[in-house]
Amino acid sequence: MKNLLIVLAFLLAPSFAHAVLLNGNFETGSLSPWSTIGDVSVVDSSFGSDPPQGHLQVLITNAPETSFGEHPQSYSGTNSAGFSTFTAFFDILHVPGDPFAAVYEGSGIKQSFIANTDIFLSFTWKFLTDEGFGGLFDPRFYVLDRIQYILFPTGAASLSPTPFLAEFGYETTTIFVSAGPHTLGFGVFDTADTFTNSGLLLDDISFRFIPEPPTWLLLGFGLIVIARVRLRVA
Protein backbone atom coordinates (compact mmCIF):
# COMPACT_ATOMS: atom_id res chain seq x y z
CA MET A 1 0.00 0.00 0.00
CA LYS A 2 2.75 2.43 0.96
CA ASN A 3 4.67 1.62 -2.22
CA LEU A 4 1.56 2.19 -4.32
CA LEU A 5 1.06 5.67 -2.88
CA ILE A 6 4.70 6.51 -3.54
CA VAL A 7 4.29 5.48 -7.19
CA LEU A 8 1.12 7.57 -7.43
CA ALA A 9 2.88 10.62 -6.02
CA PHE A 10 5.78 10.16 -8.43
CA LEU A 11 3.56 9.86 -11.48
CA LEU A 12 1.47 12.88 -10.63
CA ALA A 13 4.35 15.08 -9.48
CA PRO A 14 4.69 16.91 -12.85
CA SER A 15 1.12 18.16 -12.43
CA PHE A 16 1.98 20.02 -9.24
CA ALA A 17 5.43 21.48 -10.00
CA HIS A 18 4.74 23.35 -13.23
CA ALA A 19 7.41 26.04 -13.27
CA VAL A 20 10.08 27.68 -11.17
CA LEU A 21 9.76 31.48 -11.42
CA LEU A 22 10.45 33.27 -8.15
CA ASN A 23 9.26 36.57 -6.65
CA GLY A 24 6.73 37.24 -9.37
CA ASN A 25 4.69 39.56 -7.16
CA PHE A 26 7.64 41.43 -5.56
CA GLU A 27 6.09 41.11 -2.11
CA THR A 28 9.53 40.28 -0.70
CA GLY A 29 10.32 43.98 -1.06
CA SER A 30 13.41 43.17 -3.09
CA LEU A 31 14.12 42.39 -6.74
CA SER A 32 16.05 39.16 -6.08
CA PRO A 33 16.36 36.79 -7.93
CA TRP A 34 15.53 39.05 -10.89
CA SER A 35 18.52 40.51 -12.71
CA THR A 36 18.15 44.25 -13.35
CA ILE A 37 19.61 46.97 -15.51
CA GLY A 38 19.09 50.70 -15.18
CA ASP A 39 16.36 52.42 -13.17
CA VAL A 40 14.37 49.67 -11.45
CA SER A 41 12.78 49.79 -7.99
CA VAL A 42 10.03 48.22 -5.87
CA VAL A 43 7.27 50.70 -4.94
CA ASP A 44 4.09 50.68 -2.89
CA SER A 45 0.87 52.71 -3.15
CA SER A 46 2.67 55.85 -1.95
CA PHE A 47 4.05 56.13 -5.48
CA GLY A 48 0.53 57.09 -6.55
CA SER A 49 -0.79 53.83 -8.01
CA ASP A 50 -2.24 50.99 -5.94
CA PRO A 51 -0.63 47.63 -6.83
CA PRO A 52 -3.13 45.33 -8.55
CA GLN A 53 -2.07 42.49 -6.26
CA GLY A 54 -0.62 42.65 -2.76
CA HIS A 55 1.18 45.74 -1.48
CA LEU A 56 4.18 46.08 -3.79
CA GLN A 57 5.00 46.24 -7.50
CA VAL A 58 8.06 46.99 -9.59
CA LEU A 59 8.70 50.31 -11.36
CA ILE A 60 10.91 50.39 -14.46
CA THR A 61 11.74 53.74 -16.11
CA ASN A 62 13.94 55.04 -18.91
CA ALA A 63 15.58 57.63 -16.66
CA PRO A 64 18.58 59.19 -18.42
CA GLU A 65 21.81 57.39 -19.07
CA THR A 66 23.65 60.66 -18.52
CA SER A 67 22.54 63.90 -16.86
CA PHE A 68 22.24 66.83 -19.27
CA GLY A 69 19.20 68.36 -17.63
CA GLU A 70 17.00 65.89 -19.50
CA HIS A 71 14.34 64.47 -17.12
CA PRO A 72 17.09 63.84 -14.55
CA GLN A 73 14.82 62.00 -12.11
CA SER A 74 15.94 58.46 -11.37
CA TYR A 75 13.59 56.69 -8.99
CA SER A 76 16.08 54.03 -7.92
CA GLY A 77 19.16 56.23 -7.97
CA THR A 78 20.55 54.37 -10.99
CA ASN A 79 20.30 55.78 -14.51
CA SER A 80 19.13 53.70 -17.45
CA ALA A 81 21.64 52.05 -19.76
CA GLY A 82 22.70 52.94 -23.30
CA PHE A 83 21.99 50.94 -26.44
CA SER A 84 24.76 48.35 -26.41
CA THR A 85 24.54 47.55 -22.70
CA PHE A 86 20.75 47.45 -22.75
CA THR A 87 20.39 45.12 -25.74
CA ALA A 88 23.23 42.89 -24.52
CA PHE A 89 21.45 42.49 -21.16
CA PHE A 90 18.40 40.97 -22.88
CA ASP A 91 20.47 39.28 -25.63
CA ILE A 92 17.83 40.61 -28.02
CA LEU A 93 17.51 38.94 -31.40
CA HIS A 94 17.10 41.84 -33.83
CA VAL A 95 14.70 41.59 -36.76
CA PRO A 96 14.33 43.99 -39.71
CA GLY A 97 12.45 47.14 -38.75
CA ASP A 98 12.27 46.35 -35.06
CA PRO A 99 12.26 49.41 -32.73
CA PHE A 100 15.13 48.07 -30.64
CA ALA A 101 17.46 49.22 -33.40
CA ALA A 102 16.78 52.82 -32.26
CA VAL A 103 17.26 52.44 -28.52
CA TYR A 104 18.80 55.48 -26.82
CA GLU A 105 18.51 54.30 -23.22
CA GLY A 106 16.46 51.79 -21.27
CA SER A 107 15.94 49.77 -18.10
CA GLY A 108 14.56 46.35 -17.35
CA ILE A 109 14.50 43.07 -15.44
CA LYS A 110 14.88 39.44 -16.44
CA GLN A 111 14.81 35.96 -14.90
CA SER A 112 15.53 32.47 -16.20
CA PHE A 113 13.21 29.65 -15.18
CA ILE A 114 12.13 26.15 -16.16
CA ALA A 115 8.59 25.22 -17.13
CA ASN A 116 8.07 21.54 -16.34
CA THR A 117 5.04 21.44 -18.60
CA ASP A 118 3.30 23.78 -21.02
CA ILE A 119 1.96 26.80 -19.11
CA PHE A 120 0.04 30.02 -19.55
CA LEU A 121 2.08 32.84 -18.03
CA SER A 122 0.38 36.13 -17.18
CA PHE A 123 1.46 39.52 -15.86
CA THR A 124 -0.27 42.79 -15.03
CA TRP A 125 1.22 46.10 -16.17
CA LYS A 126 0.58 49.82 -16.47
CA PHE A 127 2.29 52.34 -18.75
CA LEU A 128 3.22 55.78 -17.40
CA THR A 129 4.64 58.65 -19.46
CA ASP A 130 5.58 62.32 -19.57
CA GLU A 131 5.06 62.36 -23.33
CA GLY A 132 1.47 63.58 -23.12
CA PHE A 133 -1.85 61.96 -23.92
CA GLY A 134 -1.49 60.96 -27.56
CA GLY A 135 0.92 60.26 -30.38
CA LEU A 136 4.05 58.16 -30.16
CA PHE A 137 5.14 56.77 -26.81
CA ASP A 138 8.33 55.22 -25.53
CA PRO A 139 8.18 51.46 -26.21
CA ARG A 140 7.41 49.15 -23.27
CA PHE A 141 7.89 45.45 -23.84
CA TYR A 142 8.48 41.92 -22.65
CA VAL A 143 11.18 39.61 -23.95
CA LEU A 144 10.84 35.83 -24.05
CA ASP A 145 13.91 33.87 -25.12
CA ARG A 146 15.54 36.79 -26.97
CA ILE A 147 12.38 37.74 -28.88
CA GLN A 148 10.89 41.14 -27.98
CA TYR A 149 7.18 41.95 -27.92
CA ILE A 150 5.88 45.50 -27.63
CA LEU A 151 3.06 46.02 -25.11
CA PHE A 152 0.27 48.18 -26.50
CA PRO A 153 -1.99 49.87 -23.92
CA THR A 154 -5.66 50.04 -24.77
CA GLY A 155 -8.05 52.88 -24.08
CA ALA A 156 -7.06 56.49 -23.59
CA ALA A 157 -4.43 58.00 -21.33
CA SER A 158 -5.52 60.01 -18.32
CA LEU A 159 -3.87 62.40 -15.87
CA SER A 160 -1.66 60.36 -13.56
CA PRO A 161 -1.55 60.70 -9.75
CA THR A 162 2.04 59.43 -9.94
CA PRO A 163 5.04 61.70 -10.64
CA PHE A 164 4.39 61.04 -14.36
CA LEU A 165 2.11 63.27 -16.42
CA ALA A 166 -0.13 60.60 -17.94
CA GLU A 167 -1.01 56.95 -17.47
CA PHE A 168 -3.03 54.14 -18.99
CA GLY A 169 -5.01 51.60 -16.96
CA TYR A 170 -3.67 48.29 -15.68
CA GLU A 171 -3.83 45.47 -18.19
CA THR A 172 -3.15 41.75 -17.91
CA THR A 173 -1.30 39.97 -20.68
CA THR A 174 -1.27 36.17 -20.97
CA ILE A 175 1.19 34.23 -23.10
CA PHE A 176 1.77 30.56 -23.90
CA VAL A 177 5.09 29.14 -22.71
CA SER A 178 6.13 25.64 -23.75
CA ALA A 179 7.81 23.17 -21.43
CA GLY A 180 11.53 23.73 -21.03
CA PRO A 181 14.05 26.40 -19.98
CA HIS A 182 13.21 30.06 -20.67
CA THR A 183 14.33 33.60 -19.96
CA LEU A 184 11.65 36.24 -19.40
CA GLY A 185 12.27 39.98 -19.26
CA PHE A 186 10.44 43.31 -19.10
CA GLY A 187 11.49 46.88 -19.76
CA VAL A 188 10.98 50.32 -21.25
CA PHE A 189 13.28 52.42 -23.41
CA ASP A 190 13.65 55.77 -25.19
CA THR A 191 13.47 56.18 -28.94
CA ALA A 192 13.64 59.37 -31.03
CA ASP A 193 14.56 61.56 -28.05
CA THR A 194 15.90 61.52 -24.50
CA PHE A 195 13.92 64.51 -23.26
CA THR A 196 10.92 62.79 -21.70
CA ASN A 197 10.58 59.98 -19.23
CA SER A 198 8.30 56.93 -19.30
CA GLY A 199 7.75 54.07 -16.91
CA LEU A 200 6.31 50.59 -16.62
CA LEU A 201 4.59 49.31 -13.47
CA LEU A 202 4.63 45.51 -13.30
CA ASP A 203 3.05 43.03 -10.90
CA ASP A 204 1.54 39.56 -10.44
CA ILE A 205 3.76 37.55 -12.79
CA SER A 206 2.17 34.12 -12.39
CA PHE A 207 1.32 30.98 -14.33
CA ARG A 208 -1.21 28.20 -14.62
CA PHE A 209 -0.54 24.88 -16.21
CA ILE A 210 -2.21 23.51 -19.32
CA PRO A 211 -3.95 20.23 -18.39
CA GLU A 212 -1.91 17.21 -19.31
CA PRO A 213 -3.28 14.40 -21.53
CA PRO A 214 -6.31 12.59 -20.08
CA THR A 215 -4.25 9.39 -19.92
CA TRP A 216 -2.35 10.74 -16.93
CA LEU A 217 -5.57 11.68 -15.19
CA LEU A 218 -7.11 8.27 -15.83
CA LEU A 219 -3.96 6.55 -14.59
CA GLY A 220 -3.93 8.64 -11.43
CA PHE A 221 -7.63 8.01 -10.84
CA GLY A 222 -7.16 4.28 -11.37
CA LEU A 223 -4.34 4.09 -8.85
CA ILE A 224 -6.41 6.00 -6.30
CA VAL A 225 -9.32 3.56 -6.76
CA ILE A 226 -6.98 0.59 -6.34
CA ALA A 227 -5.55 2.11 -3.17
CA ARG A 228 -9.01 2.66 -1.70
CA VAL A 229 -10.05 -0.91 -2.52
CA ARG A 230 -6.94 -2.30 -0.85
CA LEU A 231 -7.61 -0.22 2.23
CA ARG A 232 -11.12 -1.60 2.52
CA VAL A 233 -9.90 -5.18 2.07
CA ALA A 234 -7.24 -4.66 4.70
CATH number at residue 103: 2.60.120.260
pLDDT for res 82: 85
Q: Give a yes or no: residue 225 inside a domain.
A: no
User: Residue 40 and residue 62: Cα distance in Å, rounded?
Assistant: 9
Q: For 181-194, how does the pLDDT look when each residue is reduced to its tens digit (9 = 90+)?
A: 999 999 998 877 66
pLDDT for res 63: 84
Q: Give a yes or no: residue 136 inside a domain.
A: yes
Q: Considering the entire predicted model, what is its pTM?
A: 0.80
Tell whether the model's pLDDT for residue 89 goes beyond 50. yes
Q: Give a yes or no: residue 224 inside a domain.
A: no
Q: Give a yes or no: residue 218 inside a domain.
A: no
Q: For 40-67, how does the pLDDT look when each residue is reduced to its tens digit (9 = 90+)?
A: 999 999 999 999 999 999 999 998 755 4
Give the chain's count of helices (H) and strands (E): 3, 14
Q: Give a yes or no: residue 200 inside a domain.
A: yes
**In the chain, pLDDT over 70 holds for what percent of residues?**
72
Q: Give the domain range for residue 69.
A: 19-211
Q: Give a yes or no: residue 202 inside a domain.
A: yes
Find out whether 60 and 47 touch, Cβ atoms under 8 Å: no
Dihedral over Cα of 32, 82, 56, 201: its sign? negative
Q: Give a yes or no: residue 217 inside a domain.
A: no
Q: Give a yes or no: residue 9 inside a domain.
A: no
Number of domains comprising the chain: 1
